[in-house]
Amino acid sequence: MCRDIGQYKKEHSMQVVQTGRYDDILNKRSSQAAEMGMDEEFMRTIMVAVHEESVRQQVEIVNN
């Protein structure tokens, strides 16, 4: 999925990282985790790791 997103962004001349959107998603998912009794910081750590790998793959697509 990350590669498909990277291809879409490349074809539409979009930035790989959209900071505002990323912040919104990170905050929303962390809040949802807390509402479900999960540790908010744990969810934040998971989301950051997933995002970093997604960005790495998208940059690879956009730069080729």
Reported as a single tens digit per residue, the pLDDT across 6-47 is 999 999 999 999 899 999 999 999 999 999 999 999 999 999
CA distances from 25 to 15, 21, 28, 48, 63 (A): 17, 6, 5, 11, 25
Span between the terminal Cα atoms of the chain, in Å: 17
At residue 3, the pLDDT reads 94
| Angle (nearest 5°) at CA 27 between 22 and 28 | 100
Evaluate whether 6 touches 61 at the Cβ level (below 8 Å): yes
Answer yes or no: pTM beyond 0.85.
no
At residue 13, the pLDDT reads 94
